[in-house]
Amino acid sequence: MISIKKLSVVALALYSQFNWATTVDGYPSSKVTYIANFVWYNNMSHPLSDGQYIESENGQQYKVQNDQQLDLSYSSYPACRDTMQYMCMPIPAVTAHVVKSKDGVFDKPVYFIKGLNVTAGGINASGGEFNKYWNDYNLKDVFKPLLETGRDIVFIDYTKAEESVIPQSSQLIHFVETQLKAGNHQSTMMGYSYGGLIAKQALNLMESSRYNHEFFNYISIDAPHKGANIPYTITDTIGRIKGRLEDARGCSWSSACDKARKNARRMYASLTEGLAAKLLVTGNDSFQYFRKLADEGYPSTYNVAFSNGSYTGTSTGLPTNSQMARFEADYKVYGDTYYTLKSLSISRQYKMGHYYRSHNFDNAPGSYAITGQMLKAFFDDNGNIRRVTNNLLSNNKKPTFITTASALDLNTNDFTSAFNPNSVSTPFDKVYAVSGSNLSHTNFSYHKDNLILEVKKAN
């Protein structure tokens, strides 16, 4: 019971911090939050859902009737108050960080839905990332010129990448559009990485609910419309290490071995289950997931896609069987002493529903998120595995994460060749990619001017 009370206190603290009005680089800023509310009864073994609501910037709460579809009207939500019999547990699920232009009038919103974190800990989502995008990723270089010309920014920040994030994000955006927006100017929906898929589905949900929205354009930034790729050699190596540790006798009696085994389990799960199973081209759930997206199609807006990968056919410099790294285990229970990571043709592991003639995704033109530094973190800091060589660090090679073909949803079976962005076959109305070398997945500077240009097409 004590731990639950602590959780409730933490949840309330998080809840309160999402509602402070402030400024960002001089621009007025506030937050509107979608709350999943729970209660914990003294005689119950687990908390129970108590509904969902949206808290506006003035602190007023509005009930969400159904968290699986778009509600078009709102009623007041009765405030939950702790009693001797139960405790309230409001958990922020999705937050709209509203930044107004200097005219102080919220009337021309540009909604930006963030992506996932791709780190040595796997693929995941966490809240409170507005500052990271604004400052560390330099997204302010795109946002500030828009703010200066009267556009307003709404940064959508979700805490968990579960299926519910789509209706929750759509509901929160609908609230901001209908309750906070002034006038009838056209809005822009912008989604980055996995956020590009959420943004597309959120718009589709709005349209299927017969909500007459005011969105003119949907802008996808380096989103995996046909899947993402983490080099399968990493997954395979972690799986081998995990298998050795699972079979090692007495591993539970050794603190070092037990820690290594738990790390290997966690790392392998992060690359094969949950989001990875849906989004990776090797994922067991990817065929069903992307087939559903394809069947759903695109919203009726003006749709534009950006890729941080090359359209001139520039590869990542990792042809099949290129050595990426070599590691050594620190103690015998791992089985093999050395583990060599090589770029692979993954035709046997490829699970997507569309056909490509080549399956060496590691070498395809595209943006990169997996680097030598990430591989170092994967192995040096997990399970007592020592780095021997790391060619990605020494040669500055960067395996493809989201291929150009995927980011632009190209109608092609060849993701390795150069193409003309002005005549390529794609469901998007217009596409942009990189002339020359591939960029980091988090690079917004190359496309800055064209991103601003496409946003300004909304009246």
Sequence-separated (6 or more) residues with CB below 8 Å from residue 160:
93, 125
pLDDT in the model for residue 260 = 81
> What pTM value is reported for the model?
0.92
pLDDT in the model for residue 384 = 60
What is the pLDDT tens value at each position of the chain, 459 positions in all? 333 333 444 444 444 443 444 899 999 999 999 999 888 887 777 888 888 999 987 888 999 988 888 988 898 988 788 887 888 888 899 999 999 998 899 999 999 999 998 877 778 888 899 999 999 999 999 999 999 999 999 999 999 888 899 999 999 999 999 999 999 999 999 999 999 999 999 999 999 998 999 999 999 999 999 999 999 999 998 898 888 888 888 888 888 788 888 888 888 998 999 999 999 999 999 999 999 999 999 999 999 999 999 999 999 999 999 999 988 876 565 566 788 999 999 999 999 989 999 999 999 999 999 888 888 887 776 656 676 788 998 888 999 999 999 999 999 999 999 999 999 999 999 999 999 999 999 999 999 999 999 999 999
pLDDT in the model for residue 348 = 94
pLDDT in the model for residue 337 = 74
Q: CA 242 to CA 283: how far, in whole Å?
A: 18
HSE of 426 in the Cβ direction (CA atoms, 13 Å)? 25
Q: CA 272 to CA 285: how far, in whole Å?
A: 10
Q: Where are the alpha helices (DSSP H) in 280-430?
A: 286-296, 372-380, 391-395, 404-407
Phi, psi dihedrals of residue 153, rounded to the nearest 5°: -110, 135
Q: Show me where the domains of the chain are located.
A: 2-221, 232-303+312-418
How far, CA to CA in Å, does 151 sit from each of 96, 146, 170, 303?
16, 5, 20, 19
Task: Report the 3 state secondary structure along 174-208.
Answer: HHHHHHHCCCCCCEEEEEECHHHHHHHHHHHHHHH
